[in-house]
């Protein structure tokens, strides 16, 4: 099984131990001076230790004097010899774990750079004009631009080649040219951005001239045997205004002829940002059809990425000849031992990514350091490695509740050597709020959460699971244990709106899990993530759905890339929304609401009223826990309503306190 994934591979002169690559993941662990940090090295080392054949770093800047605006704060740099020592520390550490490593080298962010000048502290004090191929602003960054001069283009090429040479001296095994994500090279290649009229604009050959010169200069500086990889969007996903598959096929042929040794196939620009990190609403292996067209056109190895977190799907992509290598990014954040577990027959034990994009949309995009919703150690490897230490004093711990927080604490404490009894009133792991969260179309991937804990806890003979076991207050008081953990989650909240108790209502979780039925016109009170997902499911079943929400936007608690993907779909399906509206009163078949912007009152009819107004901690057993006289901890939503990340982190950090 997984023969294609596990067989050795090669890119030019570089041997690889398998066909499982780690693609770029921004971390924000780089120091403010552009040097790689020890925290970042620890992050990459755990993935090398976990079996990655080739690791590609996040983007590294080669040209900061000509393109002076950081694409995002705290980019790594290689535009000076001063950056070689720490890069050498990184490559040495990765090599000691048996992996190869490539630097993702870029000449800059161009029109799309969202950061500030590299000279920290000068934001707002200097000219912040972005450079660009031409005069077109990036609609996302929306910053003033100026076209690069011919002389600046030539100097950029020279700077890039020198940086590639530094990468080789620092011990990197390959250079990956960053022509993706809508940054400077991608802008030269794109008919949307490149409106030059000289030899660097117009035809595909002219738009590709900058890239071809970068390839040639890189080869000049690294020699004939050193691998050069091209990372590029095969389809910019902005329609006819952008570069599409036909041009990209020709472009990849040109790159092969120019000396590129492999093509890393991606998709999208900032204007089509969900394609940069495909969401739960994109199909798994979403980019494989694109990589297949490139593989059919070139003779060099082709990488594919995009929702390949399941080894079964990754293997199938290789078997189908859609690519030569699979490149995982978010999957490695969630599971640093992805390849190792595949190799040792523990595919069920992989902590599989749930495609939530918390890592990029909630963290990196908001200038925070890397974190993961399902792996609390991600970005903290420098402190924890990949596990907590064994307990010096073993205790007997009773965990009440088998949701994410309870399961995480049971797993971590069990792995540390404690004796664990975990109780849950339902017949399965995550039988509460995750049951509702995974019911909406696209969210089935949340099955990965209980799946992981089932596999891990089954390996621990000191963890005893008691499902279909509802503890009452007397049972809690008499638990035979040293420590009690209350992980009972939350319950739906219905505020005291006038008239709401006189009307039959149903909750969004009950609708999502099909515990109740609905009919006629549907009105959902509450337009957060749960309300939006409930609407999506019901509209797919043919219902007429409206949502009323006090905030000015629906789904404001959803990660932004996911939000950008699903909202246009809902609009096309005909969702009626009343944002910035407050419910004043609930009548038998309508609600009276106030438009908070205009002050006007409206009446919204319904046949079924669904409440999705948040959750409150479920603490019915807390007094009994206290009365037991035993040390106790309250975790997850039983403390404060939150998302899966908050629940799992609560369990993880509480495990260290026991």
Residue 395 scores a pLDDT above 80 = yes
Residue 311 scores a pLDDT above 80 = yes
d(CA 576, CA 61): 46
The reply to whether the predicted model has a pTM over 0.95 is: yes
pLDDT of residue 381: 97
Residue range 261-273: mean pLDDT, rounded: 97
By the 8 A CB rule, do 60 and 47 touch?
no
Catalytic center residues? 183
d(CA 580, CA 387): 45
Radius of gyration for the chain, computed over Cα atoms and rounded to the nearest angstrom: 27
Mean pLDDT of the chain: 97
Domain that holds residue 164: 3-384
pLDDT in tens, 128-176: 799 999 999 999 999 999 999 999 999 999 999 999 999 999 999 999 9
Is 169 domain-assigned? Answer: yes
Do 314 and 240 share a structural domain?
yes
- Label residue 373 by pLDDT band (50, 70, 90): very high
pLDDT of residue 210: 99
d(CA 516, CA 154): 67
Question: DSSP labels for 548-581?
Answer: EESSSSTTTTS-HHHHHHHHHHHHHHT-EEEETE
Phi-psi region of 373 (alpha: psi -120 to 50; beta: other; left: phi over 0): alpha
Domain boundary among 337, 352, 384: 384
Number of domains in the chain: 3
d(CA 562, CA 68): 31
Residue 224 scores a pLDDT above 80 = yes
Which residue stretches of 402-540 are H helix?
A: 404-416, 433-437, 448-457, 473-477, 508-512, 529-540
Mapped onto helix, strand or coil, the DSSP state of residue 455 is helix
CATH number of the domain where residue 463 is located: 3.40.50.720
Do 645 and 569 share a structural domain?
no
Buried b (16+ CB within 10 A) or exposed e, 437-475: bbbbebbebbebbbbbbbbbbeebebbebeeebebeeee
Question: DSSP labels for 45-59?
Answer: HHHHHTT-SEEEEEE
- Label residue 122 by pLDDT band (50, 70, 90): confident
CATH number of the domain where residue 587 is located: 3.50.50.60
Residues linked to residue 218 through DSSP beta bridges, in sequence order: none
d(CA 215, CA 262): 12
Q: Which residue in this structure is represented by tokens 């046949």?
A: 607
- Label residue 612 by pLDDT band (50, 70, 90): very high
Contacts of 572 (CB under 8 A, 6+ apart): none
The bridge status of strand 615-617 relative to strand 490-492 is antiparallel
- The DSSP H or E segment spanning 523 is strand 522-525
Do 18 and 120 share a structural domain?
yes
The bridge status of strand 590-595 relative to strand 581-586 is antiparallel
Percent of the chain clearing pLDDT 70 (strictly above): 100
Do 450 and 372 share a structural domain?
no
Phi-psi region of 427 (alpha: psi -120 to 50; beta: other; left: phi over 0): alpha
pLDDT of residue 123: 78
Is 607 domain-assigned? Answer: yes
By the 8 A CB rule, do 167 and 89 touch?
no
Do 522 and 474 share a structural domain?
no
d(CA 116, CA 28): 14
Q: Which residue in this structure is represented by tokens 């199909």?
A: 283
Is 546 domain-assigned? Answer: yes
pLDDT in tens, 65-120: 999 999 988 899 999 999 999 999 999 999 999 999 999 999 999 999 998 888 88
Encoding tokens for residue 627? 């009365």
Is 29 domain-assigned? Answer: yes
d(CA 403, CA 432): 7
Contacts of 594 (CB under 8 A, 6+ apart): 581, 582, 584, 600, 601, 602
Do 278 and 161 share a structural domain?
yes
CATH number of the domain where residue 169 is located: 3.20.20.70
Domain boundary among 358, 384, 410: 384
> E strands along 242-378, which residues?
262-267, 302-304, 325-328
Do 342 and 306 share a structural domain?
yes
d(CA 342, CA 471): 38
Residue 127 scores a pLDDT above 80 = no
d(CA 372, CA 80): 32
Encoding tokens for residue 146? 């100026």
The end-to-end CA distance of the chain, in Å, is 40
Question: DSSP labels for 530-557?
Answer: HHHHHHHHHHHTT--EEEEESSSSTTTT
Residue 221 scores a pLDDT above 90 = yes
pLDDT of residue 119: 81
pLDDT in tens, 15-56: 999 999 999 999 999 999 999 999 999 999 999 999 999 999
d(CA 463, CA 535): 39
Is 367 domain-assigned? Answer: yes
By the 8 A CB rule, do 245 and 279 touch?
no
3-state SS, one letter per residue, for 112-131:
HCCCCECCCCCCCCCCCCEE
Do 444 and 310 share a structural domain?
no
- Label residue 333 by pLDDT band (50, 70, 90): very high
pLDDT in tens, 63-79: 999 999 999 888 999 99
Residue 126 scores a pLDDT above 80 = no
Do 221 and 316 share a structural domain?
yes
Do 505 and 477 share a structural domain?
no
Residues linked to residue 506 through DSSP beta bridges, in sequence order: 610
Is 46 domain-assigned? Answer: yes
Question: DSSP labels for 322-334?
Answer: S-SEEEESHHHHH
Do 357 and 210 share a structural domain?
yes
For the chain, the 3-state helix, strand and coil shares in percent, each to the nearest 5, are: 35, 20, 45
d(CA 399, CA 19): 41
Buried b (16+ CB within 10 A) or exposed e, 71-103: bbebbbbbbeeebeebbebbbebbeebebbbbb
Residue range 365-375: mean pLDDT, rounded: 95
Do 481 and 517 share a structural domain?
no
pLDDT of residue 273: 93
pLDDT in tens, 569-606: 999 999 999 999 999 999 999 999 999 999 999 999 99
pLDDT in tens, 402-414: 999 999 999 999 9
- The DSSP H or E segment spanning 168 is helix 150-169
Is 391 domain-assigned? Answer: no
pLDDT in tens, 504-552: 999 999 999 999 999 999 999 999 999 999 999 999 999 999 999 999 9
**Degrees to nearest 5, angle at CA 30 with 25 and 35:** 125
Residue range 326-344: mean pLDDT, rounded: 98
Encoding tokens for residue 455? 């596999």
Is 606 domain-assigned? Answer: yes
């Amino acid at each position: 099984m997984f023969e294609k994934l596990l067989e050795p591979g090669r890119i030019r002169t570089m041997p690889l131990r398998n066909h499982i690559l780690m693609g770029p993941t921004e971390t924000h662990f780089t120091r403010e001076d552009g040097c790689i940090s020890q925290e970042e090295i620890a992050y990459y080392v755990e993935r090398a230790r976990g079996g990655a054949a080739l690791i590609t770093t996040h983007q590294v800047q080669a040209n900061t004097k000509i393109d002076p605006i950081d694409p995002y704060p705290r980019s790594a740099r290689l535009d000076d010899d001063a950056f070689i020592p720490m890069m050498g520390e990184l490559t040495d550490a990765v090599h000691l774990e048996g992996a190869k490593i490539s630097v993702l080298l870029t000449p800059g962010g161009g029109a799309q750079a969202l950061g500030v000048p590299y000279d920290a502290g000068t934001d707002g004090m200097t000219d912040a004009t972005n450079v660009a191929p031409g005069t077109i602003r990036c609609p996302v960054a929306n910053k003033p631009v100026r076209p690069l001069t011919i002389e600046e283009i030539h100097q950029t090429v020279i700077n890039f080649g020198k940086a590639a040479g530094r990468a080789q001296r620092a011990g990197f095994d390959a250079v990956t040219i960053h022509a993706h994500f809508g940054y400077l090279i991608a802008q030269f290649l794109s008919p949307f951005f490149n409106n030059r009229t000289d030899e660097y604009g117009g035809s595909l050959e002219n738009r590709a001239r900058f890239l071809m010169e970068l390839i040639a200069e890189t080869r000049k500086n690294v020699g004939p045997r050193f691998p050069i990889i091209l990372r590029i969007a095969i389809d910019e996903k902005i329609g006819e205004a952008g570069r599409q598959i036909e041009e990209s096929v020709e472009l990849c042929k040109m790159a092969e002829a120019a000396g590129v040794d492999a093509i890393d196939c991606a998709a999208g620009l900032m204007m089509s940002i969900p394609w940069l990190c495909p969401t739960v609403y994109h199909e798994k292996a979403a980019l494989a059809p694109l990589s297949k067209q490139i593989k059919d056109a070139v003779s060099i190895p082709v990488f594919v990425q995009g929702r390949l977190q399941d080894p079964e799907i990754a293997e199938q992509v290789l078997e189908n000849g859609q690519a030569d290598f699979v490149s995982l990014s978010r999957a490695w954040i969630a599971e640093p031992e992805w390849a190792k577990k595949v190799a040792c027959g523990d595919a069920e034990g992989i902590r599989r990514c749930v495609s939530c994009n918390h890592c990029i949309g909630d963290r990196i995009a908001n200038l925070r350091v890397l974190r993961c919703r399902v792996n609390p150690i991600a970005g903290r490897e420098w402190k924890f490695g990949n596990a907590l230490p064994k307990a010096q004093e073993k205790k007997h711990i009773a965990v009440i509740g088998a949701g994410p927080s309870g399961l995480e604490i049971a797993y971590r404490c069990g792995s540390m050597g404690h004796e664990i009894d975990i109780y849950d009133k339902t017949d399965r792991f995550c039988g509460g709020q995750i049951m509702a969260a995974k019911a909406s179309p696209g969210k089935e991937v949340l099955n990965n959460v209980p799946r992981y804990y089932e596999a891990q806890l089954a390996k621990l003979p000191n963890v005893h699971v008691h499902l279909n076991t509802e503890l009452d207050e007397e049972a809690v008081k008499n638990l035979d244990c040293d420590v009690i953990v209350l992980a009972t989650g939350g319950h739906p909240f219905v505020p005291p709106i006038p008239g709401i108790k006189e009307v039959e209502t149903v909750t969004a979780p009950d609708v999502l899990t099909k515990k109740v039925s609905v009919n006629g016109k549907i009105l959902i009170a509450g337009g957060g993530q749960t309300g939006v997902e409930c609407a999506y499911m019901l509209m797919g079943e043919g219902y007429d759905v409206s949502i009323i929400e006090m905030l000015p936007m629906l789904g404001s608690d959803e990660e932004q890339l996911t939000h950008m993907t699903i909202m246009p779909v809902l609009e096309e399906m005909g969702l009626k929304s009343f944002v910035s509206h407050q419910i004043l009163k609930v009548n038998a078949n309508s609600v009276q609401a106030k438009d908070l912007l205009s002050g006007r009152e409206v009446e919204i009819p319904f046949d079924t009223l669904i409440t999705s107004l948040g959750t409150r901690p479920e603490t019915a057993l807390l007094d009994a826990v206290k009365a037991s006289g035993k040390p106790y901890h309250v975790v997850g939503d039983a403390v404060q309503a939150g998302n899966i990340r908050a629940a799992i982190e609560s369990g993880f950090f509480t495990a260290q306190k026991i």
